[in-house]
Amino acid sequence: MSVPLELTGLTKVFPTPTGPFIAVKDVNALIDTGEFVISPEPFAPAPVIRNCCALFALKAADAGLEIKLELADNLPEINADQRALKQILINLLSNGIKFTDRGGRLIVSAKVEAGDILVAVEDNGVGIGAEDLTRLGDQFFQARGSYDRRHDGTGLGLSIVKGLVALHAGQVLVRSTPGKGTCFTVRLPLDCEKARSATPANKIVHHLVIEPPPASAPATDRDTHIPVKISA
């Protein structure tokens, strides 16, 4: 199963968990040169988020992980490229599973805040050191430290996420603590066409925004892990 993305004069195919992996190393170059064309349309984000989590059910089960959904009630329609949102979630979920040990969990959440939709993928995996956070999203870069050889990859997933979010005049925020986990939050305008037309090109955020780690809090039901479960 593949998701074709329309480009100016070209067609590329992004990978999905159920289909063959197809190299996408030139996608960011196409984004940077303006050759990548997104196709915004109104759609309900909740089914898209649920479907992406369902795509990873088997992979999470094999890894002994829980995927938990926390979607706000009555999420509104957004005007964005539905295929791009799918790819963003696929990349973030894939990373979360890759860097979380058996018995861990991923929380996928969505809510509306100040005219934007915030979609977050949070794990309690290996985490990322402060020295590597500033380079996340660079092509071919992978964090060091606790990322051992079994976590090798191309380093392109977050770079593609960053580019696709920038095309929507959005932001990618990240917070992480080594040994405790990482949370990526994608902030997209409810109407990306309106936001893009109102945002000068030099004001589009092309880097990851680093958030401070949260203050210590008492244990909650988020700390209870039930392997191989997708719950809404």
Is residue 168 within 8 A of residue 204, CB to CB? The reply is: no
Q: What angle do CA 127, 147, 180 make, to 5 degrees?
A: 20
pLDDT digits (tens, 9 = 90+) for 24-73: 445 555 566 666 678 899 999 999 999 999 999 999 999 999 999 999 99
pLDDT recorded at residue 7: 35
**pLDDT exceeds 80 at position 224:** no
**pLDDT exceeds 50 at position 172:** yes
Please state the pTM of the whole predicted model.
0.77
Domain 41-231 = CATH 1.10.3720.10: no
Most confident of 133-142, 166-175, 181-190: 181-190
Boundaries of every domain in the chain: 41-231
The 10 Å CB-count burial string (b at 16+, else e) for 171-193 is bbbbbbbbeebbbbbbbbbbbbe
pLDDT recorded at residue 227: 35
